[in-house]
Structure 1
Amino acid sequence: MAIADFPAALQPIIQQGFLARAFEASLESKLGFRSVADRMDFPARIGQTITDTRRGLLAPVETPLNPAANSNFDNGMSPTEWSVEQYTLEIAQFGNTMDLNQVTEGVGIANQFVENAQVLGINARQSLDRLARNSLFGGAIGGVGGYLGGNTRVTTALAAAGTTVQVDDIRGFQRVMNSMGQVIPVSATSGMTVTVGSGSYTLVNVAADATNVSKAPGGISGTLTFSENVATTDAALNAAVVAATAPLVLRPNGRATTAGLLASGSKDANGNVVTGDYLTIDTMLGAVAALRNNNVPTIGGCFNCFLDNSQLLGLFRDPDFKLLYRGQYGSDEYRTGQVFELLGIRFIPTTEAPQQASLGQGQIHRAIICGAGALIEGDYANMAQAYADLPGEVEHIDDVLMVTRPPLDRLGQIIAQSWSWIGGFALPTDLTANTTIIPTATNSYLKRGVVIESLGATSLGATA
């Protein structure tokens, strides 16, 4: 359908690109979780999921070749192969739409037309950013869990030694990776080593509760079954439960779980009054050290840290932070509190950071520090072609489509403005980057991000 089918008042807006610019500015106006994703095209006509394979590296050679074996065609060498690991990317279609009645809007139709494009751009950005956030923290479908996975706490203390333990969140415990790099369910033949309290046990089964009562954001409460009895001293209430391959989760002052975080003025286990478990420079440096030990690449020279404003306020009050910025109160960091870089970290305040209700000491806040490749975004390769014959105008902006349809109703009054995105997010693993390849590497499946859990400060210095 030609542009002439749109009202005359709207044709210049479309022809001069005002609508596309309004949508694009809103779509890209703020850095978010999506910015850490590596982009890949999802090929057409292959179904709704794709299983991709990442290659590992070869182990460094530290032994010289034997001169006596330097003969024949192989010169005394045996061929080696790199290890591989797989991840599954699932795509779906997302979108939203708004109607504009050119009769009831009257003389304001042009302004409303552009406003709708801006609102839709913001909605598309927030939607994709939230999908990226959910994958980062919670994991993708069929994966090994997100950066909160494999790190939970006991919710019901064992009265007697037993094989089953009730936990707050089973994400990250449901699947393991086999020697071929494939993700398979935990079972009696493919167990997972898990630390409960101070003891180490082999996990053989995971079951979700019929009614989810998890306190973690997006969490799934359930039961972990082990191959041997778990001691009552290990499975005490709120004891830490951590998978051997879990991503790193840090908390101020070395707290073992979210339930262990203490507010200002509280007493610790030794009866000492604490200043509060708020975000600190020391914890941030611990996260950066872990990422560097895993040789995680930066994003433009820094690691991205996404955190909410309550956590950021706690950081500004940290004595170490104040020491770093002594005499620098005129800096942008203090004046605006916006995006800034410090100690190899790019701090990006966001309102989309996961929130958790108080466990007794205050609301729990979570920051995540990410390196490049922490997330993979798959965009359907033929999105624009799929809409090529659609009546109206189609703009392809940052792999999101803005579709403007002329009036097709009986009275010829209603213009439809919509956005559409076909794609999905996946979390690639780095299991093959082990200590043989990188001596300082950890055992985590997911190595490109670190979550920091803390309480959030308020303007009055209390917990939020």
Structure 2
Amino acid sequence: MAIANFPASLQPVIQQGFLSRAFQDALQSKLGFRSIADRMEFPARIGQTITDTRAGLLVPATTPLNPNANTNFDNGMSPTEWSVEQYTLSINQYGNTMDLNQVTEGVGVANQFLANASRLGINARQTLDRLARNALYGGAQNGVGGYLGGNTRVTATLGAAGTTISVDDIRGFQNVLSSEGQVVSVGATDGMTVTVGAGSYTLVGVAADAVNATTAPDGISGTLTFSGNVSVADGTAGMAVVAATAPLVLRPSGRATTAALAAGDLLTIQNVLGAVAALRDNNVPTMPGGVYHCYLDNNQLLGLFRDDDFKLLYRGQYGSDTYQTGQVFDLLGVRFIPTTEAPQQKALTGGPGNIHRAIICGQGALIEGDYANMGEHYAGLLDGGELTHVDDVVMVTRPALDRLAQIIAQSWAWIGGFALPTDLTANTSIIPTATNSYLKRGVVIESLGATSQAAAA
């Protein structure tokens, strides 16, 4: 009961206004993207990068051997070779630290040491999850772009036919895989086929703008230069620019670009089925558990709950866990996993609302490399200190080194990186239903959010 309800004679002896003796937890992100990654150890003493090679398969031999050529030592057969492709995993060091004065902490009303350790642990988890997300959508170092790469639009209309156009995002256009399967920069000898508007052109040069004006999350605005002139009709602002090897990006109503999204373009079951069909056509393995994973924010998930096909599937099942909780659930071979770390993009000028991006992926879409010697170099160096090694992240408590031996340091560190393996060798000769995408193990679905639609209404 309130203190005012105590007898007046007792109220003066009840202390008031004291600070709580425990810290309260703040809100934190709901993570998930790091769980997509397959983990591998990055061996010591090989530098900061490692190049892995993926071997392709042989094309099925469906042509009968010619009996008349069945002579000599080769029996009429010519040697063949399987193709290869490579991806590079680069590692960097990440970390954060906090200082704690033990004397000050000793007179405080709450345990600041434990609070610092908890906050650093949360910070480490969120940092790695965001690094995984950024690599998945935007691409990793020395790669061919992420699952948003190679899919952009013209930002400035050409005054006359010309070889150079301005685009909203150059990620996914900067590098190609050579005939030897190596990642090389786009150039005159290593061009890329790109569809601009309705025309097909050969890309030979890419340059980033001095001042980044992109609207895409973590995007890079710039210019694309082609071997021949782009027509004014194709080079008109808003026209789609898509690399022949770009990952699949789906949008409601078949919209060609992000800027073309219109009111009512919410996430639908048909979008999800389209993504699943593309993954299955590429024979992408499911995640552990036998389903593909869909990571999306709650606003986009709300749009799915408004879809008529979704309502039809759950008609009469409002007592189901899916409807009662609206959280993780399986449907049509997909596990929907809400996260607060999904990339956010504000509404474009004149657009109907904020843009949301779900990603549906299978196993092998992302690789995490963890430095094998993490923690070993501290052996014997932390005299009086403490080292905790959890999930390839180290938490170090360094003893006080100042003159009064009062200030200790609490820190976390991780050495590693993320890479996106390519699947170029899985072409139509090997899998007839395969796409031309370098990155085949994930599909991004762009849509508007249900909240913004409700506000617009």
Q: TM-score, normalised by structure 1?
A: 0.87
**1 CA distance for matches of 2:31 and 2:93?**
23
Equivalent residue number for residue 15 of structure 2: none
Equivalent residue number for residue 13 of structure 2: none
2:93 is equivalent to residue 105 of structure 1? no
AA at the equivalent of 2:181: G
**2 CA distance for matches of 1:132 and 1:298?**
19
**2 CA distance for matches of 1:103 and 1:31?**
36
Partner of residue 405 from structure 2, selected from 412, 415, 423: 412
Aligned residues: 425
**2 CA distance for matches of 1:77 and 1:462?**
68
2:209 is equivalent to residue 209 of structure 1? yes
Answer yes or no: is the 8 Å Cα contact 1:455–1:463 preserved in 2.
no
**Superposition deviation, residue 121 in structure 1:** 1.5
2:330 is equivalent to residue 337 of structure 1? no
Please identify, of 318-327 and 43-52, the stretch whose mean Cα deviation from structure 2 is larger.
43-52
Equivalent residue number for residue 289 of structure 1: 277
Answer yes or no: is the 8 Å Cα contact 1:370–1:448 preserved in 2.
yes
Partner of residue 313 from structure 2, selected from 299, 317, 324: 324
| Structure 2 stretches lacking a partner, 5+ long | 1-28
| C-alpha spacing 1:341/1:390, structure 2 compared with 1 (3 Å) | farther
**2 CA distance for matches of 1:304 and 1:324?**
19
Equivalent residue number for residue 13 of structure 1: none
Aligned positions of 1:135-214 closer than 5 A: 135-214=135-214
Equivalent residue number for residue 448 of structure 1: 441
AA at the equivalent of 2:261: L
**2 CA distance for matches of 1:229 and 1:462?**
44
**Superposition deviation, residue 458 in structure 1:** 1.2
Equivalent residue number for residue 42 of structure 1: 42
AA at the equivalent of 2:254: G
- Partner SS for 1:461: helix
Equivalent residue number for residue 11 of structure 1: none
Equivalent residue number for residue 304 of structure 1: 293
**Superposition deviation, residue 137 in structure 1:** 0.7
State the identity %.
79
Q: TM-score, normalised by structure 2?
A: 0.88
**Superposition deviation, residue 56 in structure 1:** 1.3
Structure 1 or 2, whichever has the larger Rg, is 2
**Superposition deviation, residue 321 in structure 1:** 0.8
Answer yes or no: is the 8 Å Cα contact 1:363–1:463 preserved in 2.
no
- Partner SS for 1:156: coil
1:22-79 per-position Cα deviation (integer Å, ceiling 9, x unaligned) = xxxxxxx965111111111111122112222111122223234456666666555544
| C-alpha spacing 1:415/1:156, structure 2 compared with 1 (3 Å) | same
AA at the equivalent of 1:350: T
- Partner SS for 1:58: coil
**Superposition deviation, residue 384 in structure 1:** 2.0
| Structure 1 stretches lacking a partner, 5+ long | 1-28, 264-275
Answer yes or no: is the 8 Å Cα contact 1:40–1:378 preserved in 2.
yes
Equivalent residue number for residue 344 of structure 2: 355
**1 CA distance for matches of 2:50 and 2:378?**
23
Q: CA RMSD in A?
A: 2.1
Equivalent residue number for residue 14 of structure 2: none
Answer yes or no: is the 8 Å Cα contact 2:353–2:452 preserved in 1.
no
Answer yes or no: is the 8 Å Cα contact 1:102–1:109 preserved in 2.
no
2:425 is equivalent to residue 432 of structure 1? yes
AA at the equivalent of 2:368: E
Equivalent residue number for residue 423 of structure 1: 416
Aligned positions of 1:11-26 closer than 5 A: none
Equivalent residue number for residue 389 of structure 1: 380
- Partner SS for 1:420: strand
AA at the equivalent of 2:371: Y
Equivalent residue number for residue 366 of structure 2: 375
**Superposition deviation, residue 214 in structure 1:** 0.5
**Superposition deviation, residue 411 in structure 1:** 1.8
**Superposition deviation, residue 144 in structure 1:** 0.8
Answer yes or no: is the 8 Å Cα contact 1:278–1:315 preserved in 2.
yes
1:329-370 per-position Cα deviation (integer Å, ceiling 9, x unaligned) = 222222222221111111111111111121122111111111
**2 CA distance for matches of 1:224 and 1:324?**
45
